[in-house]
Structure 1
Amino acid sequence: MTIDRLRAALLAGGAAAEGIASYRGDWEVTSDAGPEDAARVLTPAAVLIALTAEAEPQLLLTKRTSTMTRHPGQIAFPGGRVDPEDDSAITAALREAEEEVSLARGQVDVLGTLERYETGTGFSILPVVGVVPTGIEYVAHAREVDEIFHVPFAHVMNPANHELRTGEWLGKARKFYVIRHGEREIWGATAGILVNLSRRLG
């Protein structure tokens, strides 16, 4: 997997993406019938899919602290809600990455974005894909981030590593993706977004 190939796939945009079965949200992983509450108001958010600039890119991920109100202890991309002072969702993703892992905005070469992804917890997430230099000294935000680590991008892009599981949430059976790497499990919206990116890359 090369950065140039990823850049080309993102720049191709909607025309090249037509016909690709990307998930529009958690609800679509479970069913193609549409969201249970189509009229619900979603909070705009953005995440940064940061890849290292090397022949075999590594994907930057975090583990959220157990004290977080939403998704405690889960593996996630750096990111969060779009604030009123952000001039775009891309700005929000870069700001959140700077706050959470001390990744300076100027160190990110933004390649493009994926389609928005809706979560069952009420967020509409814009995934922003960017490339960062190797050897960055990351610093975790003590209240929000428990751990910062990398996984091979090729591993999470391999459909053979995308496991579809079924569990119960709010009294209903739900399907969700899990991507294992060693002892870690990436799941939920983070895994769903990675599955979408894998499908975009073919």
Structure 2
Amino acid sequence: MSEHADLARLRRAVRTLADPPQPPGWNAHEFPELWSEHPPLRPAAVLLPVVCRGAALSMLFTRRNESMRHHAGQISFPGGAIEAGDSDAIAAAVRETHEETGIRSHFIDAFGYLDCLDTVSGFSVTPVVAAVRDGFELAPDPGEVAEVFEVPLDFILEPGRMRRSEILWHGRGREIFEFEFAGKRIWGATAAILQNLLRRMDVAE
């Protein structure tokens, strides 16, 4: 059986496993004054899980618990800080995905990277893109995750889906990306990571 066309497009668009990205993030120019006044950014990794169910592809997201220290209540990809026991960003992303959602590593096939992203919370994030085969069971960690849900990939890849808006941050305007699905607002670092993906796939804004 031939691979789904959108999954094949993803594989062609991302950085290969032999070409991991390096800091600084592609968005570092947005807030250079912040990093000049603080310690180096902490390395982190997130997983962009592309769930494959026959001809249907979707991307899996989590909604963070309202009690979380960083990005409370926001929509995010599974992930977190890279720890000393993690061999690389992929290991960290897969570990965090299991801890947060319950999806076990043997369902996850990482096949590429996006460019690093710097966050206002002080992390340098390496996004790992992976195919997730059907059959997994969810067991979200209630201490971190309020909800796990999926968005059809063709919805995300629809040209013009991502909107630009501006927020006031540290006394000046800052451009952000966002879109909505089923009443959920996906914005901030998660939307910025997706915007990097869309640009690499040449999806029209």
TM bucket, shorter chain? 0.7 to 0.9
In structure 2, give the amino acid aligned to 1:49: L
Cα distance in 2 for residues equivalent to 1:42 and 1:11: 22
After TM superposition, the structure 1 stretch with the greater mean CA deviation from structure 2, 129-138 or 6-15, is: 6-15
Shift of 1:139: 1.1
Residues 51-90 of structure 1 aligned to structure 2 (within 5 Å): 51-53=50-52, 54-90=54-90
Deviations 1:63-104 (A, max 9, x none): 001011111100000000000111101100000001000111
Cα distance in 2 for residues equivalent to 1:10 and 1:93: 16
Does 2:123 align with 1:123? yes
Query: Percent of aligned pairs with the same residue?
Result: 36
Question: Corresponding residue for 1:24?
Answer: 26
Deviations 1:42-67 (A, max 9, x none): 00000000011242310000000101
- Aligned partners of 1:2 and 1:56 also within 8 Å: no
Aligned residues: 190
Aligned to 2:98, the other structure's residue is in SS state: helix
Q: 1:13 to 1:135 in 2, by over 3 A?
A: closer
Structure 1 unmatched ranges of 5 or more:
16-22
Shift of 1:13: 8.5
Aligned to 1:44, the other structure's residue is in SS state: strand
TM-score (norm 1): 0.86
What is the RMSD of the two structures over their aligned residues, measured on CA atoms? 2.1
Structure 2 unmatched ranges of 5 or more:
20-24
Aligned to 2:56, the other structure's residue is in SS state: coil
Shift of 1:36: 2.2
In structure 2, give the amino acid aligned to 1:48: L
Question: Corresponding residue for 1:36?
Answer: 33
- Aligned partners of 1:157 and 1:197 also within 8 Å: no
In structure 1, give the amino acid aligned to 2:116: R
Question: Corresponding residue for 1:47?
Answer: 46
Q: 1:2 to 1:174 in 2, by over 3 A?
A: same
Deviations 1:128-152 (A, max 9, x none): 0001112422111010000000001
